[in-house]
A and B are shown apart, each in its own frame.
Chain A
Amino acid sequence: MNPETTVGPTGANFVDGRLDAKIPPGPIEQKWERHRFEMKLVSPANRRRYTILVVGSGLAGASAAATLGELGYHVKCFSYHDSPRRAHSVAAQGGINAAKNYRNDGDSVFRLFSDTVRGGDFRAREANVYRLAELSLNIIDQCVAQGVPFAREYGGLLDTRSFGGAQVSRTFYARGQTGQQLLLGSYQALERQIALGTVTMDTRTEMLDLVVVNGRARGIVTRDLVTGAVESHAGDAVVLTTGGYSNVFYLSTNAKASNATAIWRAHKRGAFFADPGFTQIHPTCIPASGEHQSKLTLMSESLRNDGRVWVPKEIGDTRPPDQIPDSERDYYLERKYPSYGNLAPRDIASRAAKEVCDEKRGVGPGGRGVYLDFADAIERFGEAAIREKYGNLFDMYERITGDNAYRIPMRIYPAPHYTMGGLWVDYNLMATIPGLFVAGEANFSDHGANRLGASALMQGLADGYFILPYTLADYLAHTRPEGVDTGHPAFRAAQAGIAERVRRLLGINGQRSVDSFHRELGQLLWDYCGMARNDAGLRHALQKIPELRAEFWENVRVLEGSEEVNQSLEQAGRVADFLELAELMCIDAHHRRESCGGHFREESQTPDGEARRDDEHFAYVAAWEYTGMLARPFLHKEPLAFEYVHLTQRSYK
């Protein structure tokens, strides 16, 4: 069967060399409402004839798969974990934003929208962000109905707290485990659909390639991580919800298995990659303790509600923190940003920490750390109140460092945490390959050049529960259901390609472990494409990365075979893709000669060291097309217009 013969209009968003973000017309507060009405529906009787492949089962994937299953589509969901509940969304700590204005403190959909656009330093698409703010209201309702145990006040109403980049209290939370509780909510909804038979779940199954037939995403190739079997799966649409790529830095707050393989494979099959250089370095993580460090642990941003960040005023002051009097401490965030203080956005707080450490005023081993001090809050509210709010975080800190943060201040340092970049999608969350949808952190999304705290959970769930079910339906309604056919030559070719790649990785039998390459790549990126970037450093990295990649393919050692669990082999495939993506990150960071949000180009700063945007030349989304040559991707620009939140230099002073 030739699928092409039955294809209807696909709603392609890249036509004649031009990107079309498909932003609906009309005033911003009516765009989504009108679009929902104008999109076509699939009648309930026809839905089960469509097969939708959902790759990833974190917040975005589980919520999408569950909701599409509830609607009656035939959904196949894939995860490389042993259970959807392990997805890294589980580790999000602090909370989820919603413009409920339950506090009566001046919040509104418009304010959440405006804070998010400003927080992202004007590099996000206004229409998407507005829709996100709008849907934030429904998300909290949905999660409460599912039984997510959010924090409550004594009257039984929901409690909220403040997060960085906002002057209202709009963050809903479940102690320090908000991500876990939200994920369990969508995981349980997903398991319910699995029991009902609308969703089939393939766990311990990793997507290794995307199959495109006649210009449309029609399936995926996977490897069974237990048996090693390489298999094809066909569907009418493919949804990627596979998270971000901070793990490219090796030391990050991401889980060890977090990877970019699914989105990178899709990129190489024709999906544009947007703003790959936009990475978020989170200001409050536990500093590395030595060479053996395998990952970094985040301490929730919510701690900055009550913790005060400081370093000694004098260089070389090695006294223990309790012996440094207040007058000799520099509460540098409060000093530099009096109106937001310790709640300055992440990019700003991270850079400020780097700055004081570069001045040799950092604390702890190696001088790469600053204090996060709760002494004042404990004196004001009592230890019990602080324990109630952050107990599990203090416990985690003590387990890792051996220090009791109720007595001595925490030591923190920034670490890679989130990637705002990702596959380019239009307003319907469709990539430049028709039929390929991308949701959650995997898309370049709504956060611009810096994501505000408590916005990632919001975006993942907005995409999965409330956006994809509509936009996918519209795509499918224009597409005749194809049934399942993995016999097409495109499937056979992709499958053979993956099998060959596995054989190649196993056949190199060189001298270095996968981990050693990953560490070296991570260090390169951290040094030259981390918190501060410059022309010379990025050029250096762009020379080194291809060398390291070449060495990898000649000298990596992957033992054992492919017919059973082989964790080195899994990791080797992921690191091989990181070695390619890293180059694109540096190319993107190099081409963007402005500073914005988390992307700080040393050449572009204000006299007092803040990021200086260049709206005249860079107010666009950089969408990179794979050309077959990693070093020569083609740049497409989606211009960004700001009609509602006016372009101004960001100020949190």
Chain B
Amino acid sequence: MNFTLRVWRQKNGSDRGRFVIYRAKKISSDMSFLEMLDAVNEELIARGQAPIAFEHDCREGICGACGFMINGVAHGPKRGTTVCQLHMRSFKDGDHLTLEPWRARALPVIKDLIVDRSAFDRIIQAGGFISASTGSAPDANAILVPKPDADLAFDAAACIGCGACVAACPNASAMLFAAAKVSHLGFLPQGQPERYQRVRTIVALMDREMFGSCTNIGECEAVCPKEISLFFIARMNRDLLAATVRGRQASP
């Protein structure tokens, strides 16, 4: 298969950046999208040109390192799939593909298709944890968790922190990412003591990090490689409302 790639090239954070056209030739349909880029990069190196920088690591769809826009869609056309697990058989021979990094003020470009997602770590720091210092735990089976709750918590916990939800959102909101963590911990009995404080500190942090507000558009759910449901956002909003009504501890 052959493809025409229009790729965003940007040397560093202060470079303005531009699109550059490349041809990907003799690509096997069994290649993953990243293996196709590997092949393009090998050719670029052979010609003495800088390879395209993109983030990737496990190539199994679990580490969350990879991700960029393909023709305007985060992680490309296949639902529930990261770019490392997207295979070229999902495209037609001769396709034109535009590759762009995530675009959001809170996720600035570092180089080419690589962005800075450290804001996600700061969201976790703001409350995405259960305070359970090592050594303080009761016996594992002393905490009963009804299976449906455990399953829901797991569905939310499946988030890989790739950033596709923010990139897809017209408001560049991180609500799906945050709601996934709030719900993961909020469905479990262990997460109850900090439940309402958690949602307040996380929402306050997202504002400071310049993420946009959620207006329930649903683009995030459509591109999420782990198919995390909008339901969790609704649930987080209920928790936020409850937290406000309860007026527990002022938000920082």
Enumerate chain A interface residues (CB-CB to B < 8 A): 63, 66-67, 70, 81-86, 88, 90-91, 100, 102, 138, 140-147, 149-158, 174-175, 177, 180-181, 184, 187-189, 191-192, 194-195, 201, 203, 226, 255-257, 289-290, 292-295, 297-298, 395-396, 399-400, 402, 465-466, 469, 513, 515-516, 557, 559-560, 564-565, 567-568
Contacts and interface: CB of A to CB of B under 8 A. Distances in A.
B215 interface: no
A289 B31 CA distance: 8
B38 A515 contact: yes
A70 B73 CA distance: 42
B137 A142 contact: yes
Given A145-B132, A399-B85, A513-B42, 10 more contacts: A85-B161, A91-B58, A144-B190, A152-B151, A156-B144, A157-B141, A175-B154, A188-B129, A191-B128, A203-B121
A82 B35 contact: no
B218 to A, nearest CB: 22
A255 B190 CA distance: 32
A469 to B, nearest CB: 7
Nearest to B15: A564
Interface in B104-126: 110-111, 114, 116-118, 120-121, 124-126
Contacts of B153: 147, 149
Contact of B140 (A88, A158, A295, A513): A158
Main secondary structure of the interface of B (DSSP, over half): loop
B117 A149 contact: no
17 contacts: A83-B120, A86-B57, A91-B63, A138-B135, A142-B134, A142-B135, A144-B137, A144-B143, A147-B185, A174-B154, A192-B125, A203-B121, A255-B59, A255-B63, A294-B34, A294-B38, A513-B45
B110 A565 contact: yes
A192 B87 contact: no
A469 B87 CA distance: 45
Given A83-B120, A191-B121, A145 B190 contact: yes
A464 B126 CA distance: 24
Contacts of B11: 564
B72 interface: no
Interface stretch (B46-54, B91-99, B164-172, B237-245): B46-54
Contacts of B143: 144-145
B129 A192 contact: yes
B23 to A, nearest CB: 17
A86 to B, nearest CB: 5
A226 to B, nearest CB: 6
B75 interface: no
Contact of B133 (A70, A155, A187): A70
Contact of A100 (B58, B140, B150): B140
Most chain A beta carbons < 10 A, residue from B48, B55, B80 = B55
Contacts, number: 212
A564 B131 contact: no
B191 interface: yes
Contacts of B191: 147
Contacts of A144: 137, 140, 143, 190
A530 to B, nearest CB: 21
A538 to B, nearest CB: 30
B134 A399 contact: no
B117 A158 contact: no
A152 B145 contact: yes
B144 A226 contact: no
Nearest to A465: B134
A557 B184 contact: no
Contacts of A516: 42
B157 A559 contact: no
A257 B59 CA distance: 11
Given A88-B57, A565-B114, A149 B141 contact: no
A160 B160 CA distance: 24
Contacts of B116: 82
B134 A290 contact: no
B129 A189 contact: yes
A157 B137 contact: no
Most chain B beta carbons < 10 A, residue from A91, A298, A469, A567 = A567
Given A195-B126, A203-B118, A565-B12, A557 B137 contact: no
B195 to A, nearest CB: 11
Interface string B54-66: 0111111111110
